[in-house]
Amino acid sequence: QVQTATGTGDGVFVGSVPLTTAQSGSTFSLKDASRGGQSTSDLKGKTSGSGTLFTDTDNAWGDGTAANRQSAAVDAQFGAAVTWDFYKNTFGRSGIKNNGVGATSRVHYGRNYVNAFWDDSCFCMTYGDGDGNTHPLTELDVAGHEMTHGVTSATAGLNYSGESGGLNEATSDIFGTMVEWYANLASDKPDYLIGEEIDINGDGTPLRYMDKPSKDGGSADSWSSGVGNLDVHYSSGVGNHFFYLLAEGSGAKTINGVSYNSPTSNGSTVTGIGRDKAAAIWYRALTVYFTSTTNYKAARTATLNAAKDLYGSGSTEYNAVAAAWSGVNVN
């Protein structure tokens, strides 16, 4: 019969972490019965199919290098576990669909694939190995980002184009970042950067910046009439910048050794309410008020309604939501 066991993992990015695994005789598998049966499989370079469930004989997984094919699986399985715990312990959400069912993860997708993605049809997330195979896409904020696409799909269903697509992407960056803060790993100190560990640009810069999204060379810092024509990973900048302003406030500050400088589009000063309250407001807006066609103007109304529900109309939090949206030109 199958029993639950506690193993150890050494991931490419997460370092040494505990893993809840399954044991059948002398064989362990990367499957977590305590979190809806979430598991991780090896695609071995293929681009379809469910892959081969990772198994092991000593319940010690990976060696911290991408050369060992279990290491990326440790990151993926741990990322799915932390994301599960974040949603469960922060919002009482039991899995992506809130039905107690875990998602599966697939690693080693294709060859030199520099991306990761969520797919509703397999209820699974998939990671490439990156170009050169030393930087798989299995960073924690990416895991949280991809699984959050599943949450968005199961709740608001934000259309993946135009301004609603930007809000969809921002939602994934916001909660991917919150997953990183929830885990608070010494090996990956939490920040307001996306994909900072992967070195996707080869020069040490992250994929995206929440304090000043335009630092990536393409994202919007604030709303303008054409913002919905941008790629959704760029129109997300308006939502990401709103969230940073709401959580941390405008101006310069250093957190965990990273320097941020977040200007508002109208020159106003915004005082942050902290990331936990900001996340609670965004989650309530996502799950109660956003619809498939919500645009930035409607997101302002939705988050104000969420803040009213949680903290009261005219509360400090409510007023901060209004000020943060005005700071990204959503009036």
What x/- string results for residues 176 through 215 when contact with Ca ion is judged by CB under 5 A?
Answer: ----x----------x-x----------------------
Phi then psi for residue 20, to 5 deg, are -85, 120
Continuous segment of H or E residues that includes residue 309? helix 296-311
Q: Least distance to Zn ion from the beta carbon of 141, Å?
A: 11
Pattern 63-82, binding to Ca ion, x per CB under 5 A?
A: --------------------
Residue 150's H or E segment, with its range, is: helix 140-154
Beta strand 3-10 with 60-61: parallel, antiparallel or unpaired?
A: parallel
Contacting residues toward ligand ASN, per CB under 6 A? 115-117, 145-146, 149, 169
The verdict on 141 binding Ca ion (CB under 5 A) reads yes
Q: Verify whether residue 169 is a known catalytic residue.
A: no
How far apart are alpha carbons 164 and 331 in whole angstroms?
17
Of the pair 61, 181, the CB lying nearest Ca ion is at 181
CB nearer to Zn ion: give 75 or 146: 146
Q: What is the full DSSP assignment across 258-291?
A: EEEEE--TTS-------HHHHHHHHHHIIIII--
Place of tokens 């005789």: 25
- Closest CB 305 distance from Ca ion, rounded Å: 29
Nearer to Ca ion, 118 or 192 (CB): 192
Give the whole-angstrom CA distance, residue 242 versus residue 249. 9
What residue is closest to ligand ASN based on CB? Answer: 117
For residues 8 and 61, the answer to whether their CB atoms sit within 8 Å is yes
* 317 belongs to the catalytic site: no
Q: Closest distance between ligand ASN and the C-beta of residue 313, in Å?
A: 35
Query: One symbol per residue from 161 to 200: x for binding Zn ion (CB under 5 A), - otherwise; what is it?
Result: -----------x----------------------------
Residue carrying structure tokens 């054409």: 226
Active site residues: 146, 233
